Amino acid sequence: MYEFITGPLLWVVFAAFLGGLAYRVVWYVKGLHWQLDRVAYSAFPADGAKGAVRSIFFWLVPFGTRSWRIKPGFTAIFFGFHIGAVLVPLFLTGHAVLLHERFGINWPSIPQGLADWLTAAAIVSLVLIGLRRISLPEVRIVTSWYDWLLIVLAGLPFVTGFVAVMHWGDYQFWIIAHILTGELLLVSIPFTKLYHVVGFFLTRAQLGMDFGIKRGGRKGRNMPW
């Protein structure tokens, strides 16, 4: 079973993941209003690019924006999860070995000890995010079963992987569970709210370009509309 889920099934998963993301990106760009967005962006590419980079950068930095600073607790758990959610899947030694064995890709990795700490931080942060959804009325009222499903989908690969690495129980069972839940997560990303792993950059770039061009960015600088 291991050979199948890390071989043919993995190829199918990556095809669905990358193909789905490509479709969503194209769909997003084509959905931009040709008068309000595309004309302005193409007319002032330098101002637009500067605004996009600035917007993305400050939202990627903990406490880099006012929205992050006014909710320090949420910011801490948000970045506690997302830092682990990015670094561990991309640079775990086991993942790098698998990429080399199955696809012939030489990929950098991080020390296993650091990966373990980042995984533990991601799991704890995700639990705190769930508790926040329960405890805060303004968050609880907009939380549905769909949101809980996404939290579970995001958390299972970390939990199963951590249990496998710590050798708590049957290693073969937990490593297979880890691979399958990780593949399920990858397939779900393009078709759920988890698409924000790419959608974040698109929307932040668009907002940054808006402010860099249309919303005062070129005020008094030969802006014809």
The string of pLDDT tens digits covering residues 129-181 is: 999 999 999 999 999 999 999 999 999 999 999 999 999 989 999 999 999 99
**Domain encompassing residue 30:** 2-213
- Give the pLDDT score at 123: 97
Tell whether 222 is covered by a domain: no
Q: Does the CA dihedral 11-14-17-18 come out positive or negative?
A: negative
pLDDT band at 98 (very low <50, low <70, confident <90, very high): confident
pLDDT at 220 over 80: no
Q: Let me know: does 51 contact 211? Beta carbons within 8 Å.
A: yes
Rounded distance, CA 125 to CA 200, Å? Answer: 20
Question: What DSSP assignment string belongs to 29-72?
Answer: HHTS-IIIIIHHHHH-HHHHHHHHHHHHHHHHSTT-SHHHHT-H
Q: Let me know: does 182 contact 11? Beta carbons within 8 Å.
A: no
The tokens for 107 are 């990929």
- Give the pLDDT score at 126: 96
- Give the pLDDT score at 1: 84
Per-residue model confidence as pLDDT tens digits over 5-47: 988 898 999 999 999 999 999 998 888 776 666 666 777 788 8
- Give the pLDDT score at 133: 94
| Residue 111, number of CB atoms within 10 A of its CB | 10
- How much is the average pLDDT of 84-105? 89
115: enclosing H helix or E strand? helix 112-135
Mean residue pLDDT of the chain comes to 89
Tell whether 78 is covered by a domain: yes
Residue 222 is classified by DSSP as: S
The tokens for 49 are 């690019």
Q: Let me know: does 188 contact 194? Beta carbons within 8 Å.
A: yes
Q: What predicted TM-score, i.e. pTM, was given to this entire model?
A: 0.87
Whichever domain contains 147, its CATH number is 1.20.950
Query: 8: Cβ–Cβ under 8 A, 6 or more apart, which residues?
Result: none
Tell whether 17 is covered by a domain: yes
Tell whether 199 is covered by a domain: yes
Tell whether 99 is covered by a domain: yes
- How much is the average pLDDT of 103-123? 93
Overall number of domains in the chain: 1
Question: What DSSP assignment string belongs to 69-95?
Answer: HT-HHHHHHHHHHHHHHHHHHHH-HHH
Tell whether 225 is covered by a domain: no
pLDDT at 224 over 60: no
- Give the pLDDT score at 39: 63
Residue whose C-alpha is closest to residue 17's, from 175, 203, 194, 177: 194
- Give the pLDDT score at 135: 94
Rounded distance, CA 156 to CA 81, Å? Answer: 13
**Portion of the chain with pLDDT greater than 70, in percent:** 92
Tell whether 220 is covered by a domain: no
Tell whether 203 is covered by a domain: yes
